[in-house]
Chain A
Amino acid sequence: MMDNLSAKTVKRIFIFFLIYLPLQYAVVGIVGYYSSEPWPAFVFPGFKSVYVYGNTFQINHFMVEVESRDGQHLREFTPQQYFYEIPNSQVAGFIRSNLQSAGNVDAFDTETQRWFRDRAEELLDVSVGDIYYLHRRQFLTRLGTDLRTDSVKVLNRIKIAEAVN
């Protein structure tokens, strides 16, 4: 067993962390603003977003839309359905990092596009066409204990895999 640390060393450890903790938090804030949250970091989740303004609400829906070989809408999947092996706590972040920021289908190499197609075919049991990532925002109003949908707006629709001829 190792010996205990001296009082002087322990004090230095505390002084280090008392300086380091706020500094790293500042770095987390700056890096997080321009990129994403660094890791490892001494932070807890902020859940800072506010979705409720008076009686109106905004809810974001992220979906994977699969088309048939002839370009017809076949089915939409929630991320939890499509990426079923990814833990629920991570799937929204996965979507944000990998699909939302993708821009277009060129962002994914052929191996990744094949993975998307294989997954769609596994889930639907048919040969599929193009696959899209869809970001919708639903605007709702509370009426008593009910929620009324005022409108739904598609904010983003990105092709993530192309059909193979």
Chain B
Amino acid sequence: MSDDRFSRWIFESYRPTAEGLALFRIFAAMMILFFLMPDATYYTDLAKFPDDFFSPPPGPMMLVGVFPPAWFFYTIHTLLVVSLIGVLLGYKTRISSLMSTLFMLILLGFIFSIGKVNHMMLLILLPAVMAFSNWGGAYSIDAHYLRRKTQAEGWPLVLLALFIGFMMFTAGFAKILGGWLHFDTFATQGHLLNQYFVRGRTELLSGLVVEINQPWIWGVLDWATVMFEAGFLLAAMRAGWTRLFVSFAVLFHFSTMLTLNIAFLVNFPAYAAFLPWNKINGYLKSRIPLIKKTDSLPLAFGSTFFILFAVIKIIDKSAVIMTVGEPSFDEITIIGIALIIVIALGIGKARELVTTVRS
């Protein structure tokens, strides 16, 4: 890649506005606070486990010999909440964002030292990467007091796309090495049976899908999964391709949630970074008559999501609709809404294409 193309890729792939990034900031902070915080009720159990259960993964957690006391977990958890509220309100946004990443690293580092790493790096990285986009440059306490226009940066979105693409590639490459592309093996079916019979993930459509015994269907699913995951790295090269693959990712997670009962909600705040936030901001400004003053837009936007997320959370916790834990009501609802958004955006894009071709 020539220096010129390299620069264009980094600096011209995305042209976000400060207001668009700010809406994403409010959305992402609220989504993490409502749905993706580590489970605080687990800390006391973790602190009580025998020292033998402390099995840190290779890395910095090996420097620690035992689980810390419960008060340590609660302190870091509180600091994480405070820093995320800082991100939400846009108060010292860059520092708050970086601190959010640091506190998530510490908390999850201990949680994963039980002997199993969950793959939540994208969630952890998101605030740190977006800290450099100036997502606190509008609709924020910082912007209110600074009273100086800050330049929104698009390169953090390219970096985020690169991280997503690379991490997806690692998943696809491992599958290739594991034999997913062999014609006589059906890995997707194997994982489905494993989740269904061994792990007891028998909700939603899993029972129906377990009964499917058409080898070609399972073979196609194996190949499609590998192509999608491995191909994501190439998609990071262009903004349009990234958005297309992020849409595929939403569809992919929705289908694995229905069949394998695995909902990978942790990736969704990062996927949401690629929504057309500039257009959303423009739409809100032009269509909602109440929003005349600049300050009332983030308030209306934030309040709407606060109420929506609170209702989802209350329904989830009260278990009035669903009593099962995996996938939970909030995961099904949010991933379902994400799919509807992707379909709506896809229809919009298709209409644009048709109009362009006709003209």
Contact = CB atoms under 8 A, between A and B. Distances in A.
A17 B167 CA distance: 13
Contacts, number: 204
Nearest to B153: A4
Contact of A59 (B42, B197, B211): B197
Contact of A7 (B11, B170, B194): B11
Contacts of B57: 36-39
Contacts of B186: 50, 52
B121 to A, nearest CB: 6
Interface string A88-100: 1111111111100
A72 interface: no
A140 to B, nearest CB: 8
Nearest to B326: A88
A97 B151 contact: no
Nearest to B212: A145
Contacts of A115: 49-50
B343 interface: no
A145 B211 contact: yes
B187 A4 contact: no
Interface in B207-223: 211, 213, 218
Interface in A73-104: 78, 80, 85-98
Which of A28, A45, A109 gathers the greatest number of chain B CB atoms within 10 Å?
A45
Name B's interface SS. helix
Contacts of B326: 88
Nearest to A111: B50
Interface string B53-68: 1010111010000000
Given A1-B150, A50-B178, A145 B114 contact: no
B115 A1 contact: no
Interface of A: 1-2, 4-5, 7, 10-11, 13-14, 17-18, 21, 25, 28, 31, 35-54, 57, 59-61, 78, 80, 85-98, 107-109, 111-112, 115, 142, 144-145, 147
Given A1-B134, A39-B109, A93-B117, 7 more contacts: A11-B10, A40-B105, A47-B171, A85-B42, A87-B39, A93-B114, A94-B114
